[in-house]
Amino acid sequence: MSNNKAETYDVKIDMLDKKGSGRGHVWRDGGGINPRKLKLTVPQTLIGEEVQVTVANPDRKRAKALPEEIIRPSVERTAAPCPHFDKCGGCVWQHWDYQGQLAYKVAEVRRFLAENGFDPDVAADAIGMETPWEYRNKMEFTFGPEGGLGLHELGNFRNVIDLDTCLIAGGPMVQAMLEVSRWEKDHGLPGYDKDTHAGLLRNLMTRYSHKTGELMLAIFATESPKAHQKAVDDLISRLSSKFSGLVSFMWMENTDWADVAQSEHTHLLYGRDYIHDEMYGYKYRIWFDTFFQTNPEQAEKLVELAIEMAEVESEDRMIDLFCGVGTFSLPFAKRVKALAGIEIVETSIESAKRNAKDNGIDNTYFLAKDARRGMDEILQTWGIPDLLMLDPPRSGAGGKVMRRIGRLGTDRVVYVSCNPESFAEDITWLREFGYELKRVQPVDLFPHTVHIELVALLEKA
């Protein structure tokens, strides 16, 4: 049997990996000598399904292949509504009934809890979306080196799928993306090639507020807009005439080889450099690089749950750790005597201060410090706060921060997490300080992806 000859297999999917792809294996006869195990990763499949795949290099120990035929489909399989789903890497689970997605995500939360010694039954069923489409308020699209504008191909970061729709993005963002795509083709402007580092257009960032209707667009390019003034003027005219909600349009120069949407020089082409958004009744200013919850409808449920679990009183003092621009700080500040927000990113702290002022809130104290030093400063100023809330990045807070929280000794800790695995690892550090896990409520902010958020309450025994 030739080492280079592709082979076709029927494989049963046993599990899903962290990226949401199916995993299975087959035994190869090794030319009739010793059977060898070939581990297969098969995107767009579900647990229990039997599928047919063709593997280009079967002599390796691991291989990845898309399913050619679903021999025995899962009862939870459904038709993906997006015409780009087979190739686009923006979603991974459109082929899965939404209730099935939610059940799997909750099972994962419970698995991580059990693996870290907690009662998995503490986790409730997930709060999903009534309509799990067009929920995002921010998208980053990529220009392809051969023309076109869209998202990266599934499993191939070098290739860009030229989109004519995107079902998880808010409608105006998609329409604006399509208009920019037509403009790019009309003027024959070259997309950026990641291999040769040649080309002009790199990314299009879109932000849209479902509450205020304001739209932001930002093009990231390798040259100044002045070098392409005629084409840029045409785009300004097109966008400003077709999108009444457009209040911010910028051109960002980015010559760095790193494939990151960043700006070395920002050119404001239309309107202002931020948009207004609202969440849970509070107003926020959002710049192009501001971190803000991507699914505002579900994010409001996170805020509501955090307030409910905290059971704060008007004389309480609290810390909001990893506070960002104040998404949780502002609603809590209206309910407590004083709130200290701690965040290491200085621009976020400046935004939090501005957002508090815009909303008429004057009992907040925001610190641009790392988590541990910020807590030390609050301890010296206030003593022990009544409540600590944290919303760390996907990697979690880490053992050092969690131990510092334990030594701080607040009665209640409310933990908002975007990664149940790092959450379960983090809260193990609080056990030695006498904290008990009382409640875990998963909330689905990213339908058709592997991600699940949660809000949890821990109390000091």
3-state secondary structure of 163: coil
Q: Residues 88, 91, 323, 418: which is the catalytic one? A: 418
Q: Is 82 a catalytic residue?
A: no
Strand partners of residue 414: 389, 457
Look up residue 391 and give its two tokens.
């919303």
Contacts of 159 (CB under 8 A, 6+ apart): 144, 152, 153
Q: Are 286 and 277 in contact (CB under 8 A)?
A: yes
d(CA 235, CA 401): 48
Is residue 441 marked as binding? no
391 has binding-site annotation: yes
Q: How many residues does the chain have?
A: 461
Q: 29-62 b/e with 16+ CB inside 10 Å = b? A: eeeeeeeeebebbbbbbbbebbbebebeebbeee
Left, alpha or beta for 10 (phi > 0: left; psi -120 to 50: alpha)?
A: beta
H/E stretch holding 185 reads helix 171-187
Rg of the chain, C-alpha, whole Å: 25
Q: Assign residue 409 a region (left: φ > 0; alpha: ψ between -120 and 50; beta: otherwise).
A: left
Pairing mode, strands 201-208 and 69-72: unpaired
Buried/exposed code over 120-149 (b: 16+ C-beta within 10 A; e: otherwise): bebbeebbbbeebebbbbbbebbbbbebbb
Residue 80's identity, in one-letter code, is A
Catalytic residues: 418
Q: Which residues are annotated as a binding site for S-adenosyl-L-methionine?
A: 293, 322, 343, 391
Q: Which residues are annotated as a binding site?
A: 293, 322, 343, 391
